[in-house]
Chain A
Amino acid sequence: ETGVTQSPTHLIKTRGQQVTLRCSSQSGHNTVSWYQQALGQGPQFIFQYYREEENGRGNFPPRFSGLQFPNYSSELNVNALELDDSALYLCASSLKEVSYEQYFGPGTRLTVT
């Protein structure tokens, strides 16, 4: 059984650019949640995907968008990057019908300059 993986590990982008972050969910999990963690803060919920559909969204602007594929892996896309988007982006997978338990990936550290 493979755990949750994320790519890339680190990323440096310039303000105004676009970025795509990737998450492979744990085997058998059909739900992926994305979180943003600014330095020194707790993670904030961005959105969740369940069976390829968005299933809830936090207080993030539309330039944060996502996708979930038939194999339940997921992407987070951020357009028109701003300096404040610099953060650790975490994804967590779960099997929604069975448990509230979420399994976290190692995160992607995004720096916007």
Chain B
Amino acid sequence: KNEVEQSPQNLTAQEGEFITINCSYSVGISALHWLQQHPGGGIVSLFMLSSGKKKHGRLIATINIQEKHSSLHITASHPRDSAVYICAVVNSGGSNYKLTFGKGTLLTVNP
């Protein structure tokens, strides 16, 4: 079992829909990242959080440390949101802050 599991693997939505991507992890963490990767490879950090909730524009990320679960929400989705969304955790207890990644969720938003 992977240390970081994401669901769903693939998600297709119509423009304007509310989207939720889930991430569960099985290890102790210091922080959790939500990342966006477009075709071609470049990764952009959307959020880093260790508790509670963060909001940036139409994106909202929440984390429940006790339940070892995080969600990424996109409100009023748009075709330009189409990308792979990746959850990654910083394992606690290590000195190198390495990231352990989920496999990603491929989001396609149709006009």
Chain A residues proximal to chain B, CB less than 8 Å = 31, 33, 35, 37, 40-45, 48, 50, 55-56, 58, 88, 90, 92, 94, 96, 99-107, 109
Contact = CB atoms under 8 A, between A and B. Distances in A.
Interface string B77-111: 00000000010101000111111111110000000
B41 A107 contact: yes
Interface stretch (B14-22, B42-50, B53-61, B68-76): B42-50
Contacts of A94: 97
Contacts of A90: 41, 43
B7 interface: no
Contacts of B101: 35, 42-44
Contacts of A33: 96, 98-99
Contacts, number: 71
A100 B42 contact: no
B48 A101 contact: yes
Contact of B41 (A44, A48, A55, A109): A109
Contact of B99 (A35, A40, A109): A35
A56 B96 CA distance: 6
B13 interface: no
B31 interface: yes
A105 B102 CA distance: 19
Given A42-B103, A94-B97, A106-B42, 4 more contacts: A33-B96, A41-B103, A42-B88, A45-B100
A37 B96 CA distance: 19
A104 B96 contact: no
B94 A56 contact: yes
A92 B43 CA distance: 10
B82 to A, nearest CB: 17
A88 B104 contact: no
